Structure formats: structure tokens, C-alpha cells
Amino acid sequence: MLEIIKQPWPWYVAGPLIGLTVPSLLILGNKSFGISSSLRHVCAACIPSDIKFFKYDWKKEIWNLFFVFGILLGGIIASQFLINPGEISVNPSLKSELATYGITDYSNMVPVQFMNFASLFTLKGFIIMVVGGFLVGFGTRYAGGCTSGHSIMGLSNLQWPSLIATICFMAGGFLMANVMLPVILSLN
């Protein structure tokens, strides 16, 4: 059983399990699925200030903090005990393209050649980790939610803003992966 859990799950198993989260949350407590709102709840709980955005009853949303904590705990457990010791499976043509940018180590889910503390102080690492992190946070706030909130919960509830946000997420992902990322990876 443990070996089955260690292997990547096919989309037709993982997708429906994620999808079943939506009706489960709605049926069990009339709650919406989303992760990015938890940062607001943490700030409202921990930062005593007169900022209007953080003045609300965050205790009504404590379930969301437990949900996100469970995701974090699950990720820690999986990374410690359920890691697949084999090399990450990558398409050979993508491997050859990534090799031109110096990415050859596939022992982790993220390339260690530029996702490490030392590369944070390089232009390439700074753009990917700091600028990219800022843009993800800004985009999440600007869109009124993250990919899980819009693409999983919003689309399943037939919400027009979620469709627009999901189209923008996809377009931005294609633009980044095919146009901007090669330029960033070619930096020294």
C-alpha cells in the first residue's frame, strides 16, 4: 500500500478527489474552497492594527486555517516519508532544452540549480523567487482569489469572474513558460 501512495497518482484519480472537495465543503458547512484567503485570516489574527481590510471576525474562518495547516502538515509528512527515491520523470526533449539553461538535476521537484539560497542573490534567482513571489501574491489579491478558489470552486459554481480569472491564469502561465521563462533562464 505504501508503494502505491509513493507513486504519482494519475489525473483520473487525483482530479476527482480534488473535485470532490468542493461539494464536501458545501454540504458539510456551506464553505468555499480557497487557500489564499488564509493569509488574510492569519494577518487579522496576529497583527493588531487599524487596517480596515483586517477588521472582521476572522474566527468564523478558523476552519480555513486548519485546512491550510493540514495541507502544510501533509506536505511535510509526504516530503519526509513518501518521497519517491527515483529521478523525476521529464520528457527527453524538455530535458535537452533545460540542459541548455544549465538545469540537469532532476532529483527534486524543483531544479536545485537555481532554487536555492545562494542563487537568491543572483539576478536570475531574484527574479524567479522574489519578483515571481510578489507577482503571484499581487495577482492573487487582484483576482480576488487563487487558482484553487477560482478554478476549482468558482468554475464548479459557474461563476463568471472565476472563468475570466482562470482564462487569465492559463494565458499567463503559457506566456511565462514559453516566452518569459526562457529569457530569465538565459540570464547569468
Per-residue pLDDT of 127-168, as tens digits, reads: 989 999 899 888 888 888 888 888 888 888 888 999 999 999
- C-alpha to C-alpha distance for 22 and 16, rounded to whole angstroms: 10
DSSP structural state of residue 103: -
Q: Which domain holds residue 169?
A: 114-187
DSSP structural state of residue 113: T
pLDDT tens for each residue of 47-102: 877 888 788 888 888 888 888 899 899 989 988 888 777 778 889 999 998 888 88
In a domain, 88, yes or no: no
| Identity of the residue numbered 183 | V
Same domain, residue pair 139 and 68: no
In a domain, 8, yes or no: yes
In angstroms, what CA-CA distances link 151 with 48, 84, 92, 165? 33, 28, 30, 8
In a domain, 56, yes or no: yes
Q: How many domains are contained in the chain?
A: 2
